[in-house]
Amino acid sequence: MAAARVAILGAGSTGCFIGGCWLAAGLPVTFIGRERIAKEIARIGLTISDFSGLQTSFSDVDYRTDSSALAEADIIALCVKSGSTEDAIRDIAAHAREGALVISFQNGIRNFDLLEKGLGDRFEVARGLVSYNVAYLGEGRFHKGVAGVLWAEDLPRTRTLAERIGEGPAKLCLSSDMLGLAWGKLLINLNNAVNALSGRTLLEELKQRDYRRVLSASQREGLALLNAAGIQPAKVGAVGPTLLPRVIDSPDWVFRNIFLKKWKIDERARSSMADDLAAGRPTEVDYLNGELVALAERLGRDGPINRKIVDLVRAAEAGAEPLPPAALRRAVLG
């Protein structure tokens, strides 16, 4: 049986890395994204790499800018930014073949609900999760700078896809608790904003305890809100959600020598929100820290730490300078 044809809708940093991994695994992949990236890949090709030393290049890549290419896909890996979900729904509804599987590999929680509402009567919609960061290094190169795997909801078609992909950097892990994993990942992704506000690489930021104090405080606030809502976040990565803030807030000598070494973060890694700020694009803060602020409002409570971080990211989007460690701690925690 021929492998299902995959379309990566929103083939930026994460989408190009996932699609490149799946190409290397032998799947037929069409990339759909921005004209700038299409021209670059047409001229130079596509290269994917990771912290372990993996590097694979492709000279013949099917990268398009027109969403009409969705008509050829059996599986659509949705990698657009959360603010573009409504546009993606319209593109899929207009062009994709009836019954295609749509997997949301997006940040945040609410995107799946939007997709299910907009597409669920004509398409199969599944939750997905990317538990790592990908940086664009220029010249058609996309680099996975931290450890982590790709997740998708455990369904018959995702099982078939996972079997086709096999082991290695392209591996697709399956779970029947994707909502729990999504909340667990969101707690980790609260570092996206701290990293973006720091103006530093992930390694440089995480080595500073004042930055980590801000992150751990936002995670503790998030855990309290999830507990009040009866939501159980699942473990994503090496540390469970309830232990994570304590690990993050540990003294420098403990954190640097024990935890940071195990997390396999290379010197080039940075958060996607940092990339967005650097490129002058809107960030996804409303779908990360803002998700907790919205949950607090639904519960009739407050989320002052995450609300303050959202405000600071908004200021950064408007041109505010990065904040040194102590300055960010004072701005958020007082």
Residue 131 to residues 15, 26, 134: CA-CA distances in angstroms? 13, 23, 10
- How would you list the strands of the sheet with 134-138, edge to edge? 55-58, 46-50, 141-144, 134-138
E strand map for 33-96: 46-50, 55-58, 63-64, 75-78
Query: How many angstroms separate the CA atoms of 170 and 192, rounded?
Result: 23
pLDDT of residue 106: 96
Please count the helices (runs of H) and the strands (runs of E) in the chain.
Answer: 15, 12
> Model confidence over 287-322: pLDDT tens digits?
999 999 999 999 999 999 999 999 999 999 999 999
Provide the residue type at 308 as one letter.
K
174 strand-pairing partners: 152
- When pLDDT is cut at 50, 70 and 90, the band that residue 147 belongs to is confident
Rg (CA), the chain: 19
> Model confidence over 262-281: pLDDT tens digits?
777 777 788 989 999 998 99
Query: How many angstroms separate the CA atoms of 180 and 211, rounded?
Result: 26
Residue 102, CB half-sphere, CA atoms under 13 Å: how many? 35
> Model confidence over 76-94: pLDDT tens digits?
999 999 999 999 999 999 9
pLDDT of residue 2: 63
DSSP structure string for 262-302: HT---TT---HHHHHHHHT---SGGGTHHHHHHHHHHTT--
- When pLDDT is cut at 50, 70 and 90, the band that residue 245 belongs to is very high
Quick one: which H or E segment has residue 209?
helix 209-229
Task: Look at 65-69, 135-139, 166-170, 273-277 and tell me which has the smallest mean pLDDT.
Answer: 166-170
Q: Which of 243, 228, 237, 231 is nearest to 297 (CA)?
A: 228
Please tell me what DSSP assigns to residue 334. Answer: -
Token output for 116: 């299910």
- The pLDDT > 90 percentage for the chain reads 84
Is pLDDT at 241 greater than 70 in this prediction?
yes
> Model confidence over 7-43: pLDDT tens digits?
999 999 999 999 999 999 999 999 999 999 999 999 9
Is pLDDT at 1 greater than 70 in this prediction?
no
Mean pLDDT of the chain: 94
Compute the average pLDDT of residues 57-79. 96
**133 vs 312, more confident:** 312
pLDDT of residue 169: 81
pTM to 2 decimals? 0.91
Residue 98 to residues 93, 94, 102, 125, 285: CA-CA distances in angstroms? 9, 10, 11, 12, 33
Q: Which of 55, 54, 93 is nearest to 71 (CA)?
A: 93
Please tell me what DSSP assigns to residue 231. Answer: -
Token output for 275: 């990339």
The sign of the CA dihedral 275, 281, 285, 288 is: negative
